[in-house]
Each structure stands twice: as structure tokens, then as C-alpha cells.
Amino acid sequence: MDAQVGVIGLGAAGSAALWRTAARGAEVIGFEQFGSGHDRGSSHGYSRVFKSVTPQGPQESALAQRAAGLWRELEEESGESVLHMTGGLSIGKPDSPLIAGLEKVAAETGLPLEYLDEDEVRRRFPQHVVTAGDIAVIDPASGYIQPELAIRTEWKLAQAHGARVVDAAVLEVIPQDESVLIVTAERTYEVGTAIVAAGAWQRQLLPFLPLELTPRRATLSWFAPKPGKEALFTPEAFPAFTHEAVGETGWGLPEFDEFRVKIGLDFTEGYEIVDPSANRKEVEDWELARVRAFVAETLPDLDPVPVHSGGCMITMTPDEEFTIGIPAEHPRLVVLSACSGRGFKMSAAVGDVGAELALTGTSEADLSIFSPDRFANETISIGATK
Ligand SMILES: Cc1cc2nc3c(=O)[nH]c(=O)nc-3n(C[C@H](O)[C@H](O)[C@H](O)COP(=O)(O)OP(=O)(O)OC[C@H]3O[C@@H](n4cnc5c(N)ncnc54)[C@H](O)[C@@H]3O)c2cc1C
């Protein structure tokens, strides 16, 4: 046996699983095809929105809160600063999925929210165009997280706890009765349990499981404040936001680095990516038309022509939920897929749960809605926001 646990794919979920497994004192090997903090999967782009209450439901909010504690533990252990709390501003109509969803989850979990009426939003956040009847909700425990730095730090801490990293593509994962074989071009490794966290490549590695995972094209874009408007977009003045307006759910982060103000759309209908390794880094003009229109109409103090952009991928399930668990037919595997365009914030917790599942076969987290077997017989469809 080469190790107690193998982790395949060291992006957001896998790097966290590597760190959390090693931190529990287990012998673990990680496998990554493109190196640490690379820009070819779903986890690059220098920032991700962090929210402690998510409109999707209490299970995701519980993971986000568990992750917040783990991000702080990562920071304390490493001396790095990865999670920056700017507060989170959600703007929309009171009965919109965004606002109603947040209210419901906050009521269920007891998390504090601050409410602003339309006039108050205009006064405190003049950067945003609000329309009649809009309200805003502030979640004080929100902000942004730096993904590449977080992943690199997880590798470092995992290795300090004794984890090994193999710089290779895994060609095949073969579950057996008492172990799992992990095949690379160089050699085959044997581990007690394998955590598979291969993001957009997951279905290629696990063709024998009833997973419904579709990688889709997504884009990243950054915008500059118009001359004289820079002070409106600092982290102090412009919290991380989500805004339902002009038929879109837009989101954004303040200017904290040379890339400027990051704005995106919760857009899950990008074209299907058949070969994730061939996803384009470059972005064509037509791909940015909707985010440019959103910026022009709702953030008039930004220049609507992006100063930077890049290609990315999200991995969708039919119900837009994560896939976290041990498949019934293969008890030596743990499947971790936390994407659907909003999983970075929870990834520390997803990795922690993955480590628990791999080492004990169970977790105290409520994983019922994330079961890897839920598409074995049927598919369902619901809406979702970041
Ligand atoms: C444009 C965009 C914006 C987003 N915004 C937010 C946000 O604001 N907030 C938020 O919380 N989330 C956000 N997300 C979602 C979040 O980034 C993802 O949920 C998360 O990064 C997914 O991580 P992952 O570990 O599943 O995939 P990845 O990070 O892609 O990791 C998979 C890893 O597996 C490796 N791998 C695959 N196959 C193999 C193999 N055969 N052998 C070895 N290695 C392999 C890959 O190289 C990769 O490193 C956004 C996503 C996108 C694309």
C-alpha cells in the first residue's frame, strides 16, 4: 500500500482534502496534472466571493460557516491572509430568490442580517443603480477569498504535515475490495481510499459512476472605475455584492489589486466543454456582451469595457447542487465536486468532509442533498445563484 488515502485533483476541493487529511495525521498522496494554483481548471482568477449565508439552503450555509473557521485556521497556521471580510451586500426585490432565499436560511440558522430600504441603499451605496421597491440585505460575514493563494497554502500546510504530491495526470482510478489503484503513466499507486476531486475532469475519471456532471464555459472579467470615481470602489466603500437587476444576477468585488473591479454574472448556461484540457484562456467579445450591459446599466461609475478577462469552467449537475459523498457501489471512493459556479467559498469544508469520509466512512455534516447516487434513477431541475 502506498498510502492510507490518495487525493486525485488538487484544485479547490482536492487541495483542502489533502491538507485536512494530512492534518489528521494520516498518510496521504495527492495527484495533480497542472501544478499548484494553475489557471486551467475552475479555481483561478485571484478572487472569489465568500458568503456565510447562501440562498441555496442550510446545508450549503453550514459548509460555508465551517469553511470560514477553516480558512482562519489556515491563516493562523501559515501566516498568510486569504479571506477578507468586506461584508456582503445583496440587492433585489423582497420576494426575489436571492433575498427570500437569504432570509429563509438566516431564519433557519440564526445568522444576523441587516436590512436596508431603497433610499438607504442609494445613500450608503451610490455605486449601484437601484429601482423602485428594491431592498438590500447585508451579511457581515462575507467578503472575498484569494483562490490561488489559498490552494498554494493548503499544499504547503499539507506537505508540512507529511503529505506527498505527485506531479502527474491520473489515467485511471480502479476501485477494488480492499483498496483503490491509481494509474499514472509512470506507475500504479495503491491506496486504502481515494478522494476524487477532479473538477471538470471528474466524469472522465469516474465513468462507472451514475454522476451527472457537465463542464460549461464561464468567463472572468474586470472593470476600471471612471476617472475620479476610484474611491467608490475600494474594499471599505464597495462590499462584495450580488444584485438581481436587468434580468440578470450580477455579482462583484472591490478593487484590491491591479486587476481592478471584478464583476460577473451567475450564468450557468455557457456552452458545454467536451475536453476540459482544451478550454480557451482567451475570451471573445460576444462572451462579454451580457456582463458589459449589466455594468453599463447598474454600475455607471465603471467603464463598461473590461480591462482584463479570462476563460474558466464551471461543472454543473442537473439540480445545480454539489456532489459530496461515498457512492453506494464503491465504498473505497469519496467523490468531491463542489462547483456549480459557487463552491470555492466552501471548499475548505468540502475538503474537510472529504477527509472525514475517507478516514472514518462518515461525516457529521448533512450531506443528504449532495449524494453522488442521487442521479442513479432520475434527474430534477431548480434555479440557483452564487
Ligand atoms: C468564473 C467563475 C467564477 C466563480 N466565482 C465564484 C465565487 O465568487 N465564489 C465561489 O465560492 N465560487 C465561485 N466559483 C466556483 C469555484 O471557483 C469552484 O466551485 C471551485 O473552484 C471548483 O473547485 P474544484 O476543486 O471542484 O475544481 P478545480 O479547482 O478545477 O480542481 C480540479 C483539479 O483536478 C485536476 N485534475 C483533473 N483531472 C486530473 C487527472 N486526471 N490527474 C491529475 N489531476 C487532475 C485539475 O488539474 C484541477 O487542478 C466560480 C467559478 C468560476 C468558473
- Residue 225: DSSP 8-state: B
Q: Which residue has the cell 491538507?
A: 19
Report if residue 381 sits inside a domain: no
Q: Are residues 197 and 237 in the same domain?
A: no
Q: Is residue 26 part of a domain?
A: yes
Look up the pTM and report it.
Answer: 0.95
Residue 58, in any domain of the structure: no
Q: Give pLDDT, residue 381.
A: 45
Same domain assignment for residues 129 and 189: no
Could you give the number of structural domains in the chain?
2
DSSP code of residue 126: T
Residue closest via CA to ligand 1's atom 29 equals 11
**CATH at residue 235:** 3.30.9.10
Strands 114-116 and 48-50: unpaired
- Report yes or no on 281 lying in a domain: yes
Domain shared by 91 and 158, yes or no = no
Query: What is the predicted pLDDT for the residue at 385?
Result: 53
DSSP, collapsed to helix, strand or coil, labels residue 148 as helix
Q: Is 31 close to ligand 1, i.e. is its CB under 6 Å away?
A: yes
Structural domain containing residue 300: 86-142+215-316
pLDDT string in tens for the chain (386-residue length): 999 999 999 999 999 999 999 999 999 999 999 999 899 999 999 999 999 888 888 999 999 999 999 999 999 999 999 999 999 999 999 999 999 998 998 888 888 899 999 999 999 999 999 999 999 999 999 999 999 999 999 999 999 999 999 999 999 999 999 999 999 999 999 999 999 999 999 999 999 999 999 999 999 999 999 999 999 999 999 999 999 999 999 999 999 999 999 999 998 889 999 999 999 999 999 999 999 999 999 999 999 999 999 999 999 999 999 999 999 999 999 999 988 899 999 999 999 999 999 999 999 999 999 999 999 976 444 444 55
In the chain, where do the E strands start and end?
Answer: 3-8, 28-32, 48-50, 83-85, 88-92, 114-116, 135-139, 143-145, 164-167, 170-175, 180-184, 188-196, 214-223, 240-245, 248-253, 261-265, 308-316, 323-325, 333-337
For ligand 1, whether the C-beta of 337 sits within 6 Å is yes
60 within domain boundaries: no
Q: Note whether residue 61 is domain-resident.
A: no
What sign does the CA torsion over 137, 139, 143, 145 have?
Answer: negative
Contact 13 CB / ligand 1 (< 6 Å): yes
**Residue where a domain stops, chosen among 287, 316, 345:** 316
Q: Helix (H, G, I), strand (E, B), or coil: what is residue 363?
A: coil
Q: How far is the CA of 223 from the centre of ligand 1 (A)?
A: 23
Phi/psi zone of residue 277: left (φ > 0), alpha (ψ -120 to 50 degrees), beta?
alpha
Whether residue 234 lies inside any domain: the answer is yes
Cβ–Cβ under 8 Å, residues 255 and 84: no
DSSP state of 199: G
As a whole number of angstroms, the distance between CA 185 and CA 357 comes to 28
- The residue contributing the CA closest to ligand 1 atom 12 is 342
Q: Best mutation site among 201, 290, 385 for ligand 1, i.e. most ligand atoms within 8 A of its Cβ?
A: 201
Residue 151 CA to ligand 1 center (angstroms) comes to 11
